[in-house]
Structure 1
Amino acid sequence: MIAMQYGFILPADYDMSIVDRRIAEKGHLMDGFPDLVFKAYLSARKTARQPPDSENLYAPFYLWKSTAGMNDFLSGPGFVGLTQSFGWPSVKTWSVWHAEVPPRIADARFATRVSVPIRPYAALDALRASEIERAKACVHDDGALAALVGFEPTTWTLVRFQLWAEHPSSDRLEDRRIYSVGHVSTA
């Protein structure tokens, strides 16, 4: 499996209802896309309550069964339309170590994501085992609807991503980016 995310930073005065409308009108178009496990349509709004570095964002997150589905999407008309509306994004990808994706993910209303640097010469086998257990615990113990962990060996970072039905409590946040989920497409 491979995880993928791109994002668009939008101006502070951007009318985010444009993003909401786009998700409402086009979100269903990815339902049943070949090799897609899920696509979470994510956005974040800059508000007075957010940290000073918060931004208006549109930043979908994908989990693919294989690179074939990802490549079909990135070279297809849906991505072309997206780039014509928002610009040409940098696309981040991670090799997925583990994904807990129960059937209820369509109930997600919030998502969290954190990128963590992997220290040089880390014992990757031990880190992988620990991160797999952490992802499982997010779903089975902490109430996440889904959780995945993946790594990217060019910059030696790992990503922890979770979907939630309720806004996660502050003790679970660990400097994570919090998103609103407008729609979740599944295979």
Structure 2
Amino acid sequence: MAKIEALVVCILIIVIDILAGILGIEAEIAQNKEKHLKYLIFECREPSSQAFRLGLAAAALLALAHILGNLLGGCLCICSRQEYERSSANKQLAVACLIISWIVLAVGLGILVLGALANSKSRSKCGFSHRNFLSIGGILCFIHGLFCVPYYVSATATFRELRKGGGGSGPQMTERGPRPR
């Protein structure tokens, strides 16, 4: 039963991230359909309400996929390098994927919001070019899925190891000190 639940969660995270990526790319296409005038790095562009809505929807779906993966995957904490080195391979993979997924989330969410805000009705003036922000944010949604799913899988495997008593956090303690593995 747990394997079916894990499969459903993984598929759900992937589908949400893919949908967010497609919406980000569609927002870029909608933005490019508007009239614009470009001179060097400065650009005058009419805002696109469709690009604004699609960009915000992509950002919301990216955040939802991240929240889903982190809440259902659980919280893993490694406080020192020594603890990381003594940890099981599943825990090490989970922590690495967690860190990378947070970085991809921060960059992707920021870029999608900036791209969406560039298409806000109140931003119809000229300024620096914000080209390809929405499509780059959409691509980062795909990348987020590539790290969020392995985090979920390895985090749940780590918790399963801990419940079985494997621990995976180094030598087991006995009355006389550490017991070699």
Q: TM-score range by the shorter chain?
A: under 0.3
- TM-score, L = length of structure 1: 0.20
Asked which structure has the greater CA Rg, the reply is 2
Greater fraction of residues in helix: 2
- TM-score, L = length of structure 2: 0.21
